Structure formats: C-alpha cells, structure tokens
Chains A and B, each alone.
Chain A
Amino acid sequence: MIPLYFDPGTGALIVQFLAAAIAGILLFYRTVLQKIKSFLGLKNKKEVDFMDEVDAEEDKE
C-alpha cells in the first residue's frame, strides 16, 4: 500500500477560508456572550475535558 495518500480536494481547500471566517464570528459571539454573562454574575457550566483533566489528576498522585 502507498501510505497516507488521499486527494485533499480542491474545493475542500478553498472552502476552509469561508468556514474559518464563520467559525471566527461564532467564537467572537460566544466570547462576548460569556463576558456579558460573567459581568451579570451568571456562571458558565464548564465541560470537563476528557483527556487533560484525567492526566492532571494522575500527575498529582
């Protein structure tokens, strides 16, 4: 087998610019929303990260 070769797709390379722009807007919107929430004293429920949290605890042991 010829390892790791697949066509990345021209369209898929071009569209990333648009997808990133939309993602940027969403992230900005979320950050603003979080700031407003924390300003109003509303706490955000933080999801526990499935990998790093476990590792950090293991290191403490």
Chain B
Amino acid sequence: MNQEKDQLFKEFEKEVWLFLDNDLPKQKMEFWNKKLIEIPELKKLINYYRSISNLYKDSEEIELSSEKFDKMIDSALSKNTFFAKIKNFIQTLLSGESELAFGKMAFASALVIAAIVISIVSNRNNPVVKMTQTINEELLDWDADFVDEQIGKVGNLLKVTKDDEYRKYYRYNQSTSSVEKNINNINDNIKALKKEINNKNL
C-alpha cells in the first residue's frame, strides 16, 4: 500500500504543475482531484509550492516610480518618432507634394554619382606591379646567374664529345676521375646510338 502511495506521489510531482494550470486532460484532472481528497499527503506538495510562492510575493518590494516610468515611456515614443520622420519624408517625396524635398534628394543623388565617377577615373596603383617591386633584386639576379651557369656546363660537355682539343682543355680543368667518367659515359651513349642505327639499317 505504501509503495502504491509513493508511486502516486512521484507521479503527482511530475503532473502537479499542469494540474495547477488546469491544463491536464479532463479525466486526469478528475482523477487527481479525487486522489487529493483520498490521500492528504498529495496536498502537501501543492501547499509547499504555494507557501514558497507567497513568501516570494511578499519579498517583492522594488517598484519603478511613476516618474521614472513616464520618462521611459516618453523616451520610447521619441525614439520611434525619428524613424517615423524618415518614413514620412520618403512618403512625401514619393507623393510629389514637396518640391523642396525633391530638390534635396536630387542634390544628394548627384553627390553620390560624382563620388562614384571620381573613384573610377582616378589613378590607382597596380597591385601586381607593387607586389613585384617588393621582390628582392638580388634574388632575381641570382636565379638568372644560376641558369646561365647550368647552360654553360651543358655546353662544355657537348664540346667535349666533339672536339679533341677541347677534351684536353677540359681534362686540364677537371680532375682525372670526373673527366674519364664523363668521357666514358658519352662514349657509351655514342656506341649505343650507333648500334641502334645499325639495327635499323638491317
């Protein structure tokens, strides 16, 4: 029996808030109204909430004075007046009732157009040029020198394969091992080429 009561109490704890709002289905409302009479413990929950609620209400002493309230209302109304003025200005303009308003609008438009035209026509720095100008000149020169050097080396190697005299000269400037290696490589390549040509002729 106690377990049943406990279960009922737990269930009522969940539903008490909607019960207080009379927001449960009709059958549920009738059910709980009946149970509240049968089981007094259930009322404790409602009574406790009401006591907290009453204490809380008693504690509310801070009020806004009428004077402050009136000032705040005036402020709220005046803020909206500014936007209402803008709205009225536009409406007047569209209705064509005021020539002066039209004149002001035309002048303002002309200023805007002039600003746009000036910004288009005026010289601007090319951002790409500006960017390249920031690149280090030494860096650019170094790249060119490196490429030149490599081309020179390739040229020399080609000459070595064609010219005996140049081979001697080259041998003189390079160490023996690297010269012999290079010559041997080139010889091998030439032999391979000759062989290929012979095969094709066959």
A and B pair up: no
Binding site for A on B (CB under 8 A): none
